[in-house]
Structure 1
Amino acid sequence: MSEQEPTSGSELNEVEQTDKEHVFGTWSFQKEVSPTQVVDSDGVRFTTAAGDEYIDFSGQLMCSNLGHSADAVADAIDEQVRETAYIAPNYTTEARSELGRKLAEVTPGDLSKTFFSTSGTEATEAAIKIARAYTGKQKIVSRYRSYHGATYGSISVTGDPRRLKAEPGIPGTIKAPDPYAYGSTLDPMESVEYIDEMLELEGDTVAAVLVEPIVGSNGILVPPDEYLPRLKEIAHDHGALLICDEVMAGFGRTGEWFGCDVFDVEPDIMTMAKGLTGAYQPLGATIVTSEIAEHFEENMFCHGHTYAGHPAAVAAGNAAIDTYREENLIERASEVGEYLGERIEDLAEKHPSVGDTRGVGLFRGIELTKHPEKRVPFGTREDKISPGSTVVDEVSARAKEHGTYVANMINTLIIAPPLTITEDEIDEAIDAIDAALEVSDAAMDSVSTT
């Protein structure tokens, strides 16, 4: 499906119609785009021009970690814009230097120096260029069920089927299998050993292995505890770096600061965005170890952006990190996430169309099936780049009718609410999904229910 919010099929208002005529809808066949005007948001809820209010059970595109009432972040943006709205990257501000310092504090191990950009895809572009420059090698190994961004470098290392529309991409990108216990022929730990053989057969030509520690929009895939440590060992054995894409899993969503913290692994390079500002400003970041940073003292760092370290964006980042700390949102996500996991398991026991549930903290996925024994999906990878809707889309639409917005990607409902969500709000959203899953239950193959 596209990443547009499901709509009720009502006529577009003037704002929505103007938007449809003059603005591209992302990842969509434009004839199917039907934008919904949002006029207000507060806490974990948002309201449309039609007066409909929804619980934001996916944090929009899994980025509104702080919800819609982070006043400290909004105030920091306002104050910074009035002081200095923009300066060129060869200047600095207190906000930029402070955010660099704070990221060195909250990221694991020796990660210490950051390049700021404006999105997750740009953070990936920087990571690719840094890895190639530092190692002197060209190839990047990533995985099939992954998403790393939309620009040419990042879509090339993406495994998600959206990359097919952009091929041929940049040279030197190689795809590996995923730790997908429910839908792959390989056991997760077999898949990581497959990567070991890949690097062996590629010879000394691989600059880095790039992974989401917990896969996001391609299914919320949580590997075994030993997977990521073993992957780092494999990469280093072959003279390659480990790049962790924390754009979606980062900043508390897993109950830790970052997804790699769940597995006690320090990557060589880390990318981030989304929760870095709680989506209050567009900001991406690529942070590297001190050893990699030292390389560029005598070798040119050949990368940059006009808006690298934009004052308003980094001010938002500082305020966001302060909010995570002061409101104990990282720890809270772990505690409330346990409750969320229990409620999702309640759904799995009740609805035969729930094939698998996965996740950590407030980062959860519900994968649907029309035949649980054969694990037959309702949505396929081909559907991602094809017109029309799927049963999974219909489930999301039904949840919306019951007051809850939940995104879906391919065959999985993506549950990633703001870290401020309460147990009562979780119950309300789960009730909506409970009603929505009746759609997929009714659409199951008859043989699977007999």
Structure 2
Amino acid sequence: MSQQETSADDLNEIEQMDREHVFGTWSFQKEVNPTQITDTDGVTFTDADGNEYIDFSSQLMCSNLGHSADKVKTAVSEQIDEAAYVAPNYTTEARAKLGKKLAEVTPGDLSKTFFSTSGTEAVEAAIKIARFYTGKQKIISRYRSYHGATYGSISVTGDPRRLESEPGIPGTIKAPDPYAYGSTLDPMESLEYIDEMLELEGDTVAAVLVEPIVGSNGILVPPDEYLPRLKEIAHDHGALLICDEVMSGFGRTGEWFGSDVFDVEPDIMTMAKGLTGAYQPLGATIVNSEIAEHFEGNMLCHGHTYAGHPVAVAAGLATLETYQDENLIERSSEIGEYLADQIENLAEDHPSVGDTRGVGLFRGIELTKNSEERVPFGTREDKISSGSTVVDEVSATAAENGTYVANMINTLIIAPPLTITEDEIDDAIEALDAGLEIADQAMEN
């Protein structure tokens, strides 16, 4: 039985205990019925009833190495033995080496990193750094975006989950997105809109903040020329470009980062998720050398207890070494093409598939109840409403057939570990095939 279909009466003792004493995230608590996971291996995980699932979304698009990364496990254990924690004014070998390695693998002149514990904290740091460096306050982000749950990050988020937290921090402005399938604006027209926004805001915008490839709001891949032109527009108006690579980083796109797909060097980049393959909570905010130099004589008025936590950065260093040692970035690009072909073949058999898009192992399947009019099954309002949608039912049916796939609003998010094989992709596609039958049957006549 999938998590989506589990009722409170079906929960075991551990699940009942968790439901009673632990808040579920982004949920009406009456609808939270957690599934206990008892084992993981490779690209699969197993629940307390013995059901095994192919992890076709890397949990929350974060388990890039799958669940059997021995080098990372060893690094965590050894670091705990050496020093489980030291204050941020001290350092460890792993922290120094991870900072250097990030400077090596990130685009261009990005060179100095602030380590935090999550993607939302990485974005918080980026917002503050941009404001400190430019002396300006405003941040332009986009409507179809997710940047985190803390107050600054949720304020720049466009996803409707922000609404309950508004008004949020001052100075945040939303722009349109490069959404060819579902927007009234052509992707490049949306750039002209942002250009005009910056003009009308005057010299008050510190940064434009975007996901190079939008993640949980639909796997939106812009045209090749979009991100380079966005950087030009931002700089023309004295604003920085911040790229949120929390979901699109570390091989997910077939490149190290989503920015690399478009050959763009942001001024600031945020990271998390694949930074440790989710073996430890770790976020990072890296800046170019000019911004780094600014803080030699100006205070970086930011920090927290777990900045650069020794165990987390040890996991991060071992994770990056694993990407390199096992050539997983290149592999993501190669097997991503196989995944794309299988998704296209699947789409041909299901009229409820309105659009497919993505790069590497970062793919989306958007559903429709009316392909001619592009009517979605799931809407933005569903994100903050009670009950389930047809898209939820598709995921639930895939789970019944042995494959976990996340869905957000109206899109199935296909983002398996970089270690997945062609045979495992085939098995997962077969489960999705069964799930999409539900959507086909629910289409408007």
TM-score using structure 2 length: 0.99
Which residue type is aligned with residue 336 of structure 2?
G
- Partners of 1:204 and 1:152 lie apart in 2 by 25
Report SS of the residue matched to 2:111: strand
* Superposition deviation, residue 305 in structure 1: 1.0
* Superposition deviation, residue 348 in structure 1: 1.1
1:201 aligns with 200
2:168 aligns with 169
Which residue type is aligned with residue 202 of structure 1?
E
* Superposition deviation, residue 209 in structure 1: 0.1
- Partners of 1:142 and 1:7 lie apart in 2 by 36
Q: Which runs of 5+ in 1 are unaligned?
A: none
Which residue type is aligned with residue 110 of structure 2?
L
| Within-5 A mapping of 1:300-339 | 300-339=299-338
* Superposition deviation, residue 8 in structure 1: 3.9
Report SS of the residue matched to 2:259: helix
Which residue type is aligned with residue 50 of structure 1?
D
Contact 2:43-2:66 at 8 Å conserved across structures: yes
Confirm or deny that 1:43 pairs with 2:48.
Answer: no
Report SS of the residue matched to 1:6: helix
Report SS of the residue matched to 1:21: helix
1:89 aligns with 88
Contact 1:93-1:311 at 8 Å conserved across structures: yes
Q: Deviations over 1:268-296 (max 9, x none)?
A: 00000000000000000000000000000
Contact 1:148-1:158 at 8 Å conserved across structures: yes
Cα 1:221/1:19, change in 2 over 3 Å: same
Report SS of the residue matched to 1:389: coil
2:225 aligns with 226
Q: Deviations over 1:32-59 (max 9, x none)?
A: 0000000000000000001100000000
- Partners of 2:338 and 2:3 lie apart in 1 by 26
Cα 1:45/1:232, change in 2 over 3 Å: same
Which residue type is aligned with residue 6 of structure 1?
Q
- Partners of 1:442 and 1:192 lie apart in 2 by 38
Cα 1:5/1:287, change in 2 over 3 Å: farther
- Partners of 2:403 and 2:69 lie apart in 1 by 21
Contact 1:8-1:397 at 8 Å conserved across structures: no
Contact 2:6-2:33 at 8 Å conserved across structures: no
Which residue type is aligned with residue 183 of structure 2?
S
- Partners of 2:91 and 2:430 lie apart in 1 by 49
1:6 aligned residue (4, 7, 23): 4
Which residue type is aligned with residue 51 of structure 1?
G
| Within-5 A mapping of 1:4-83 | 5-9=3-7, 11-83=10-82
- Partners of 1:61 and 1:21 lie apart in 2 by 23
Q: Deviations over 1:210-236 (max 9, x none)?
A: 000000000000000000000000000
1:115 aligns with 114
Which residue type is aligned with residue 230 of structure 1?
R
1:180 aligns with 179
| Within-5 A mapping of 1:367-406 | 367-406=366-405
- Partners of 1:392 and 1:25 lie apart in 2 by 20
1:361 aligns with 360
* Superposition deviation, residue 5 in structure 1: 4.8
1:299 aligns with 298
- Partners of 2:82 and 2:243 lie apart in 1 by 35
- Partners of 2:3 and 2:10 lie apart in 1 by 15
- Partners of 2:398 and 2:196 lie apart in 1 by 44
Q: Percent identity?
A: 84
Cα 1:319/1:5, change in 2 over 3 Å: farther
1:436 aligns with 435
1:427 aligns with 426
* Superposition deviation, residue 329 in structure 1: 0.2
TM-score using structure 1 length: 0.98
Confirm or deny that 1:151 pairs with 2:130.
Answer: no
* Superposition deviation, residue 7 in structure 1: 3.9
- Partners of 1:168 and 1:357 lie apart in 2 by 35
2:131 aligns with 132
- Partners of 1:160 and 1:338 lie apart in 2 by 29
- Partners of 2:111 and 2:3 lie apart in 1 by 38
Which residue type is aligned with residue 416 of structure 1?
A
* Superposition deviation, residue 71 in structure 1: 0.6
- Partners of 2:64 and 2:425 lie apart in 1 by 15
Q: Which runs of 5+ in 2 are unaligned?
A: none
What is the root-mean-square deviation of aligned Cα atoms in Å? 0.8
Report SS of the residue matched to 1:243: strand
Q: Deviations over 1:422-448 (max 9, x none)?
A: 0000000000000110000000000xx
Which runs of structure 1 show a deviation greater than 6 angstroms over 4 or more consecutive aligned residues? none
- Partners of 2:370 and 2:19 lie apart in 1 by 38
- Partners of 1:303 and 1:196 lie apart in 2 by 31
Which residue type is aligned with residue 193 of structure 2?
Y
Contact 1:7-1:36 at 8 Å conserved across structures: no
Contact 1:5-1:407 at 8 Å conserved across structures: no
Report SS of the residue matched to 1:331: helix
- Partners of 1:86 and 1:357 lie apart in 2 by 45
- Partners of 1:324 and 1:305 lie apart in 2 by 29
- Partners of 1:357 and 1:114 lie apart in 2 by 35
Which residue type is aligned with residue 434 of structure 2?
A
Report SS of the residue matched to 2:84: coil
2:238 aligns with 239
Which residue type is aligned with residue 387 of structure 1?
S
Which residue type is aligned with residue 48 of structure 1?
D
